Amino acid sequence: MDTASTTAQGSDHSAAHAGLESFVYDDKIVRMFAWATIIWGIVGFLVGVIIAFMMAFPELGMGIEYLSFGRLRPLHTNAAIFAFAGNGIFAAVYYSTQRLCKARMYSDLLSRLHFWGWQLIIVSAALTLPLGITQGKEYAELEWPIDLAIAVVWLVFFGGNFIMTLIHRRERHIYVALWFYIATIVTVTMLHVGNNIWVPAGLVHLVKTGEFAGPEFLLKSYPVYAGVQDALMQWWYGHNAVAFFLTTPFLGLMYYFLPKAAERPVFSYKLSIIHFWSLVFIYIWAGPHHLHYTALPEWASTLGMIFSVMLWMPSWGGMINGLMTLRGAWSRVATDPVLKFFVVGVTFYGMSTFEGPLLSVKAVNSLSHYTDWTIAHVHSGVLGWNGFMTFGMLYWLFPRLFQVELHSKKLATLHFWIGTIGMVLYILAIYTAGITQGLMWRAWDETGRLAYPDFIETVTKLIPMYWIRAFGGTLYLVGALIALYNFFMTWRKRPAKYDEPVHYAAPLSKNYDGDPKAESRLTANAGFGHAGDKFLQGTWHRRWERMPVRFTVYVLVAVLIGGAVEAIPMFMVSSNVPSISTVEPYTPLELAGRDIYVAEGCYNCHSQMIRPFYWETKRYGDYSKPGEFVYDRPFQWGSRRIGPDLHREGGRKSHLWHYTHFEDPQSTSPGSIMPKYTWLLNKETNFASIQGRVDAMAMLGVPYGDNVLEGKARENAEFQAQTIAYELQEQGGPAYDQTWDKQVIAVIAYLQRLGTDIYKTPVEETATASATEVSDVDD
Amino acid sequence: MADHYSDELLDHNYDGIQEYDNPTPGWWHLIFWGTIVWSVVYAVILHMTPMVPDRITRLNNTEDAAIQKQFAALMQIDDPITKVQTIMGDQNWLDQGASVFQGTCTLCHNQNGEGLIGPNLTDNHYKNLTDLEGMLDVVTNGAANGAMPANVNTLNENEIALVVGYVASLRGTFVEGGLPADGEEIPPFPEPITPDDQGG
């Protein structure tokens, strides 16, 4: 065991154990997280494979609402990120931190609370998301009680335990892996809290009125941000979830496990310093590149783009340090599956972090945005980088945690090859699909006609690619199942009792004067130059490395700057969201319909954001303006158009078309891959909750008139529902008394309202305004 | 792998992990500083000089140019009915009308106008209209309480004329599998005006 070799290492005392403290590492918690990683990984991959097959074969959901794509896709992303990658991170942190600090975790209780709390959060996600309980923001779908649980488990149990371990460490300096863990803990806390500030509408309603309007309403919240601001906050969060949940902790993992497995020194300490600080400072600015050409002001979009471009080298610093550390160990890569996984993992990191800046360039993004190209990019990151680094770590850890040889090195190598082939098939198929569809959307001829005016044509073209992708994903899942078998067989051979070696190390003395001193290497007589040269030698950083609390504060400052520079003007300067006088709040029924739209996860396939390009305005209508979204909580701009954009859907089709389309999308749109939404036709609208919804919006400053406040919202909603149901009947639909109280009517009310406000006449005669009048909206 | 790094070990040792004192590669610095300089130049040119028009101006320019290119000939005809007749008489215009129809109407009237949720457009019966003028009005403002949606906000005047011309041309094609006739039989539409009629 290599742990034994570290015993009493670094001690200056010659007398055995004199003045030394003894400690035992807590490997049980690592074993728990390691099992959770592989088990949740398989769940996440399985759901991914299921929804991948749905793209090629939409009937797979069998008309069951809990199995619809819009509800399962968030389950897949949350499982892959927070359950698989999350538990993998924790296994890495708990194993390496103890050894890097020469200290057991500060509190076994906090470790256990962290483990079980996190698993409980995952289980509650797996229950609530298929039930349609969601905040409707990507990777931040979990509703407010789970948000609170995450904050406590992450910051108090995990963060508290971690920082106290650092404080009680017996190693003077903290190693680069720990810097990355610090950045992870600090920044994820900031992002999670910042993006999840809400009003729990159902709870407020219950407390104020004593009325209980159903469990799903009790869990419902509205974000305090609306429209453009909500979008900015969401992608500040969303992008930096990639940065600080899927990048920094995995770099920390790499810095510990890769040199351990390769048994080689880390290539460059200087590079560690410069790429760490440039990465954490620059990453946080990059979020707005998810919102190019949207209603987000262009200056913010430009910041998102240029910081993404500047991020290229800081990211590659990690790749260089990873791959260059393998110098002298390449011969072992051929025989050691752990190193194989690490090499491919780090290479995929390099590819994704080159592709990221490329996709953030506005011109490239105009093609890639809303297509599968983004999906391909994400999967090369998660399957290649996060997945393979995690598997490499697990193959290295299992024999050490269970103190027995790995059951089969051959199976591990087989897993590596199956996983690699699956991943490459997946990614290539989806690249092809994304670029094909992007080019089809934008194709128009010299007479101004779209080459493919029918959206479905651009979908059916991709179906063969979707089969290949689903097959590739299946291979990746099979690889993980082989790993599970291998781990299980290894575990079966474990000793009856684990050997728990006792380690000895001296506590850190209060006084330390070993800091390196920089001497200016300049010979010229220049005071400022000398100072600069001393700074460039970086010895000051060595001092920071022995002060983890101060280090944490510096990291916090570094990650606060970018977000603040982008967010503060967006909230304070009204010219960023010019108001449009005819844009009014949703009616109570439309609001209820919108909440159903959010709950069903429609945003997973439909955008509500028409970009200012000729081919978009031609296909979808006038481009979207910031002032149109001021009542959208949450914003629903979406990130992928599996179906067409819906921002100008209002008034485009009859109620009957929508009704028929929900009942059977293929009947109105042959070739459509949208599943049937028959339950919308059968389930009743929760009219009892509507007053609570309106009141919560009013609390957030939405200017509702007296006619829907003070208990009148329900009446208002019922009247509108009956009106629409009657119109539906007139158009040849079912009798109105069978439809008016169903969810489909509320959703139709919302859809028919979408994007229509800018065409209303600004004068106060809306009741008589005829449809022929067009308002002069100033662009 | 031979390279020029001196691989001097630092006195760092963390659980057995050591670190070299190697410098950051030169090309790394070069590209990093290159991206920073490029970013500043890009932002200044885009936002602080008039060299690149903003994205809305670019869109408007494209739209104006496209409309000019596409509709210059149509825009010279003032009378809306004459315009529709001209479209009916020219295969090129009809193709463009078919394209608008594909993007807007097929969801309800089906691929060839044979009817789906909306009525069959290939027979001699029509709802809500009795002549081309009425068809222009129905396409523009909708009809039957939203059963036929308005297109005033989604199509420009010329596109409406194009699609009306195309739909008028579908009359009497009796596409197989079409919905049964619905509405009133109306008098024939005026004859198409072919390019030859215009003395071209």
pLDDT in tens, A699-736: 999 999 888 888 899 999 999 999 999 999 999 999 99
Q: Is B144 exposed, middle or buried (0-12, 13-18, 19+ CB in 10 A)?
A: middle
**Three-class secondary structure of residue A23 per DSSP:** strand
Q: Which of A111, A112, A102, A104 is nearest to A25 (CA)?
A: A104
Q: pLDDT at residue A122 above 80?
A: yes
> Which H or E run contains A744?
helix A743-753
Q: Which two tokens stand for residue A220?
A: 């419902």
Name the average pLDDT for chain A.
Answer: 93
Q: pLDDT at residue A771 above 60?
A: no
Residue-range domains of chain B with CATH: 1-52 (no CATH), 73-185 (1.10.760.10)
- What does B21-67 look like in DSSP terms, one character per residue? BPPPPHHHHHHHHHHHHHHHHHHHHHHHSTTS--HHHHHHHHHHHHH
Q: A63 or A12: whose pLDDT is higher?
A: A63
Chain A within 8 Å of B14 (Cβ-Cβ)? yes
**Residue A766, pLDDT score:** 46
Confidence band, pLDDT 50/70/90 cuts, at residue A681: very high
Q: Is A478 exposed, middle or buried (0-12, 13-18, 19+ CB in 10 A)?
A: middle
The alpha-carbon gap from B75 to the nearest alpha carbon of chain A, in Å, equals 14
Separation CA A445–CA B66 (nearest Å): 10
- Contact criterion met (CB below 8 Å) for A669 and B107: yes
**Residue B3, pLDDT score:** 66
**Residue A18, pLDDT score:** 76
**Residue A534, pLDDT score:** 79
Cβ distance A614 to B102 less than 8 Å, yes or no, reads: no
Q: Which long-range contacts (CB under 8 A, 24 or more apart) does A48-54 make?
A: A48/A76, A48/A80, A48/A473, A48/A477, A49/A470, A49/A473, A49/A474, A49/A477, A51/A76, A52/A466, A52/A469, A52/A470, A52/A473, A53/A470, A54/A673, A54/A675
- What does A194-248 look like in DSSP terms, one character per residue? HH--EE-HHHHHHHHH-----HHHHT--EES--HHHHHHHHHHHHHHHHHHHTTH
**Residue B198, pLDDT score:** 59
Confidence band, pLDDT 50/70/90 cuts, at residue A536: confident
**Residue A764, pLDDT score:** 56
Q: B177 or A2: whose pLDDT is higher?
A: B177
Q: Which of A220, A217, A216 is nearest to A200 (CA)?
A: A220
Instruction: Give the number of other CB atoms < 10 A from CB of residue A164.
Output: 15
ipTM: 0.90
Cβ distance A453 to B99 less than 8 Å, yes or no, reads: yes
Cβ distance B145 to A730 less than 8 Å, yes or no, reads: yes
Q: Which of A717, A758, A726, A766 is nearest to A590 (CA)?
A: A717
Separation CA A622–CA A638 (nearest Å): 18
Cβ distance A657 to B25 less than 8 Å, yes or no, reads: no
**Residue A779, pLDDT score:** 40
Percent of chain A past pLDDT 70, that is, above it, reads: 95
Cβ distance B21 to A269 less than 8 Å, yes or no, reads: yes
Give me the numbers of helices (H) and strands (E) for chain A, helices first please: 35, 4
Query: Which residues in A lie closer than 8 A to residue B107 (C-beta atoms)?
Result: 653, 657, 668-669
Angle (nearest 5°) at CA A206 between A745 and A724:
10
Query: Which residues in B lie closer than 8 A to residue A653 (C-beta atoms)?
Result: 107-108, 149
Count the residues in chain B.
Answer: 200
Q: pLDDT at residue A439 above 80?
A: yes
Name the average pLDDT for chain B.
Answer: 91
- Contact criterion met (CB below 8 Å) for B87 and B195: no
Instruction: Give the number of other CB atoms < 10 A from CB of residue A191.
Output: 25
Mean pLDDT calculated for residue range A669-693? 95
Chain B within 8 Å of A716 (Cβ-Cβ)? no
Q: pLDDT at residue A511 above 90?
A: no
Cβ distance A274 to B24 less than 8 Å, yes or no, reads: yes
Mean pLDDT calculated for residue range A192-201? 96
**Residue A763, pLDDT score:** 64
State the Rg of chain A over Cα. Answer: 28
Cβ distance B22 to A278 less than 8 Å, yes or no, reads: no
**Residue A474, pLDDT score:** 98
pLDDT digits (tens, 9 = 90+) for B70-118: 888 888 998 999 999 999 999 999 999 998 998 889 889 998 999 998 9
Q: B200 or A647: whose pLDDT is higher?
A: A647
pLDDT digits (tens, 9 = 90+) for A130-145: 999 999 999 999 999 9
Beta strands A222-223 and A503-505: pairing type?
A: unpaired
Identity of the residue numbered A167: I
The alpha-carbon gap from A276 to the nearest alpha carbon of chain B, in Å, equals 13
**Three-class secondary structure of residue A308 per DSSP:** helix
Q: pLDDT at residue A337 above 90?
A: yes
Q: pLDDT at residue A574 above 90?
A: no
Q: pLDDT at residue A258 above 90?
A: yes
Name residues 449-488 of chain A within 8 A of B (Cβ).
Answer: 449-450, 453-454
**Residue A776, pLDDT score:** 42
Cβ distance B107 to A669 less than 8 Å, yes or no, reads: yes
Which range has the worst mean pLDDT, A245-249, A406-410, B92-96? B92-96
Name residues 52-111 of chain A within 8 A of B (Cβ).
Answer: 96, 99-100, 102
**Residue A12, pLDDT score:** 44
Mean pLDDT calculated for residue range A20-49? 98
CA of A733: how far to CAs of A269, A654, A658, A751, B117, in Å?
71, 10, 10, 17, 10
Q: pLDDT at residue A333 above 50?
A: yes
Which range has the worst mean pLDDT, A2-11, A482-491, B56-65, B119-128? A2-11
Separation CA B200–CA B192 (nearest Å): 15
Instruction: Select from A9, A316, A779 the Cβ nearest to the Cβ of B56.
Output: A779
Instruction: Select from B18, B22, B28 the Cβ nearest to the Cβ of A313.
Output: B28
Identity of the residue numbered A672: S
